[in-house]
Structures are given as C-alpha cells and as structure tokens.
Amino acid sequence: MKAIQVIEEILCKVFKWHRFPVSLKVEAVLLYIKELSLRAVREFLLHKGYEVSIETIREWFHAVGRALQAVYTIAIWVYVDETKIKARDRTYYLWLAVDERGLPVFVHLSRRRDA
C-alpha cells in the first residue's frame, strides 16, 4: 500500500462523522501547513462556499497531526564528531554533525572545548 493511500485512509477514519468533506479538510490543513494564517485559510474556504471557524481549522490541523504521528514516527540519526585543529599556534575545536546520508547538518568552530 502506498503512503498516500495510507494517509487518505487514516484521514477518512479521523474525519468519519463530520459534516465537511475530507478533501476540503485536507486542503485547509495543507494551506495552513504552507504558512497561511488561519484567517487566510478561513477566507479561502468562504470563497469555496464553506463557512468554517478558525478554531475548527485549528482542530483539523491537530487531528491530522496526531493521526500522522501515530503512523509515521520520524527518526533521524545524527552523528557528531569533534576534531582538534591547530592553526598559527592556536587550538580550535571543530564539531561536525552529519545525518544518515553523510550530509552536514551542523558545523561549529570554537576556541574552547566547552563552547
């Protein structure tokens, strides 16, 4: 079963007995996730002919978040390495954090080890 089918199935179960269509709720939640304000999402739904309160959109967002969190637990492994570097008679400490694929996530250079 593909991930999209699983998500749609979960959302249909979460929003089973509600009066608005699931596709409308998903669209509203996605707009909110894409950093539109609750008021902007409400205005969008008003233009589509649905009168929904801001609190309802927020509840949809939290319901979808809980449902997706139950199915997909994101685990990212990060490896951290510390290296001592001497340059011009000074000691520096370099910390490098990489993810599972070896891509750098964070780099920090400091004069002190406890920084």
Total count of residues recorded for the chain: 115
pTM beyond 0.85, yes or no: no
- Residue 36 identity: L
Among residues 2, 1, 58, 67, which one has the least CA distance to residue 25? Answer: 58
Q: Which pLDDT value is given to residue 53?
A: 93
The predicted pLDDT at position 75 comes to 58
What percentage of the chain carries pLDDT values higher than 70?
A: 82
- Residue 13 has what pLDDT? 76
Q: What is the mean pLDDT of residues 69-84?
A: 73
Task: Work out the burial of residue 93: count CB atoms within 10 Å of its CB; fewer than 13 is exposed, 13-18 middle, 19 or more buried.
Answer: middle
Nearest of 96, 99, 100, 90 to residue 109 by alpha carbon: 96
